[in-house]
Amino acid sequence: MSIKRCLQQFATAMLACLLLACASSTRPGVVGVTRQQFLMVPADAVEKMALLSYAQQNQKAKEEGKLISSGAEYERLDRIATRLRRQVGIFRDDTRAWQWQLTLIDAPVINATCAPGGKITFYTGIIRKLALDDHEIAAIMGHEIAHALREHGRERISQAYAQNILSGAAMIATNSSQQQIALANQFSHYLFTLPNSRQNESEADSIGLELAARAGYNPAAAVTLWKKMAVESGDKTPPQFLSTHPAPATRIEEITTLLPKVMPLYEAALKSHL
């Protein structure tokens, strides 16, 4: 076989790999999120590392006496999470089978996350300091769930792997607990520490608003939420939640333009519960 022929076959194979790695992880919904994503790293590898990181987080909180698993605050979050989870099938079917979990940590931290596979974490600080009502909590939780649905963390990890920033070992199963912990920490950096792109944040806002509206929570609460965040960000040290999110003013403007798309869903949800 000629060198030219070999190069052509190699180029074709590489193109096929890239095409297989590019897909939209969710259906559009009424908000119309359709962007093709680069998802080279297998979902199960990302979920495995995210679960390990989640377990470490919870164990540490438990040892420090900060893990809340019952009581009014936890039950309130659980009710909201349950209603939001019932809507995830609008965007993708497989998430109905995710092993969803909710963690509440008693700490004055203004932060919330949702790891791949549906592992939700809230800190009491974000609820108490911002005096959030149920609709505002749903706006935050819907936004974070949307990041998981859209696999934004997996997308960032895939990009890092393709650029040789992440070690190839991250793609290989290992029996070494120390190596697994190291990999989990490495994955956690891309899942939670690094800021999302403006595009990713816009997608999470859009899908999060639709989830909240379909679950019967007023999507306009996202505006009041970010106004509260704007006040909080006026402090010398911005809250952790804002360190990985764009400025509240930018977000408020974009959310306002989305409301006409999702308000009918909220109104329909209210009527269905009458």
| Residues with active-site annotation | 144
Between strands 101-105 and 119-123, the pairing is: parallel
User: What gap in Å lies between CA 251 and CA 249, rounded to an integer?
Assistant: 5
In what helix (H) or strand (E) does residue 7 lie, and over which residues does it extend?
Answer: helix 3-21
Are 50 and 115 spatial neighbours (Cβ–Cβ below 8 Å)? yes
Does the CA dihedral 192-198-199-204 come out positive or negative? positive
Rg (CA), the chain: 20
Angle between the 177-188 and 43-63 helix axes, to the nearest 10 degrees? 100
User: What gap in Å lies between CA 52 and CA 60, rounded to an integer?
Assistant: 12
Tokens of residue 166, six digits:
């992440």
Query: Count of residues for the chain?
Result: 274
